[in-house]
Amino acid sequence: MIQVFAFYLFATIVVASAAMVIFARNPVHSVLWLILAFFNAAGLMVLLSAEFVAMLLVIVYVGAVAVLFLFVVMMLDIDFAQLRAGFVSYFPLGGAIAMVLLVELILGIGAWQAGSLNLAQRTAPLPEATPNIEAIGQLLYTRYIFLFEAAGLILLVAMIGAIVLTHRARGGTRPQNIDKQNRRRPEEAVRNVNQPVGQGVDLGGVEL
């Protein structure tokens, strides 16, 4: 009973927040609604006992992708009123795409009602007793360890490449050198001057 209740709760919030992603006027609010949708989709995955996918959704989509979206939306100066202009002229194309999606939905539901896919032939059946996070870990760190490490190298090469191609040393910047600051002694920084009365202060040669 509690599962059914949880399912309808999560599902309703997913659909509602997905709708709000589209309808929200402020793009920042759209991204926040998207994050809510992701969270509730993760809840649905937990109900299906696919904990790993649930964690991926939260960590990867909410933690990284959505935050990235947020940054991009906030950094780009997009005039949404301008984007929404020309609705009528794009309506035929948009309507056609909507029709295609509708037909696909009907076909999909029809195929689903005709019976589920025959999955008996799949080469890697789900293990019965182990939770799926452990099952993935067992494969990833034993059988596929070589590829796992190599995939790590690919990411490293991508990172090096991005730095090599875009990094440039800029002159004229004044970075903070903490080491130098800490090594500075009062004797170097402070100068006692017997200032004669009635004359201006000469700061020449003093490093500010």
Partner 1 sequence: METLAVFASVLPEIVLTIAGLILMLVAAYAGDGSARLVSWLSVASLALAAVLLGQLAVHAGGEIFDGLYRADAFAAFAKALIFVAAAVCILVAPRFFDGEGGQRAEYPILILFACIGMAMMVSASDFITLYVGLELNSLAAYVLASFMRRDERSAEAGLKYFVLGALASGILLYGMSLLYGFSGTTNFAGVAQAIGDGLGTGELFGLVFVLSGLAFKISAVPFHMWTPDVYEGAPTPVTAFFASAPKVAALALTTRIAITAFGPGGHSWQQIIIFMALASIVLGAVAAINQPNIKRLLAYSSINNVGFALIGLAAGTAEGVAAVLSYLAIYVVMTIGSFVCVLQMKDKDGRPVETIASLSGLSRTRPGLAAAFAIFMFSLAGIPPLFGFWAKFLVFDAAVAAGLTPLAAIGIAASVIGAFYYLKVIKTIYFDKPAEGFAEERSPIDYGIITLCATVIIIGYFLNPVLGRASAAAAASLF
Closest contact distance (angstroms) between CB of 169 and partner 1 is 9
Query: Nearer to partner 1 by C-beta: 64 or 150?
Result: 150
Closest contact distance (angstroms) between CB of 82 and partner 1 is 30
| Residue 41 contacts residue 14 (beta carbons within 8 Å) | yes
Closest contact distance (angstroms) between CB of 174 and partner 1 is 19
End-to-end alpha carbon distance in the chain: 73
Query: Nearer to partner 1 by C-beta: 113 or 123?
Result: 123
Query: Nearer to partner 1 by C-beta: 117 or 208?
Result: 117
Residue 204 dihedral angles phi and psi, to the nearest 5°: -60, 135
- Report how far residue 78's alpha carbon sits from residue 72's, in angstroms, rounded to the nearest whole number: 10
Closest contact distance (angstroms) between CB of 125 and partner 1 is 12
| Residue 136 contacts residue 52 (beta carbons within 8 Å) | yes
Query: Nearer to partner 1 by C-beta: 28 or 145?
Result: 145
- Report how far residue 113's alpha carbon sits from residue 116's, in angstroms, rounded to the nearest whole number: 8
- Measured in whole angstroms, the distance separating CA 56 from the mean position of its chain's CA atoms is 11
Q: Using alpha carbons only, how large is the chain's radius of gyration in Å?
A: 30
202 φψ region: left (φ > 0), alpha (ψ -120 to 50), beta (else): beta
Residues within the interface to partner 1 (CB under 8 A): 121, 123, 143-147, 149-151, 153-154, 156-158, 160-161, 163-165
Query: Nearer to partner 1 by C-beta: 5 or 146?
Result: 146
- Measured in whole angstroms, the distance separating CA 170 from the mean position of its chain's CA atoms is 29
Closest contact distance (angstroms) between CB of 120 and partner 1 is 12
Query: Nearer to partner 1 by C-beta: 25 or 168?
Result: 168
Closest contact distance (angstroms) between CB of 123 and partner 1 is 5
Tokens of 60: 């990867």
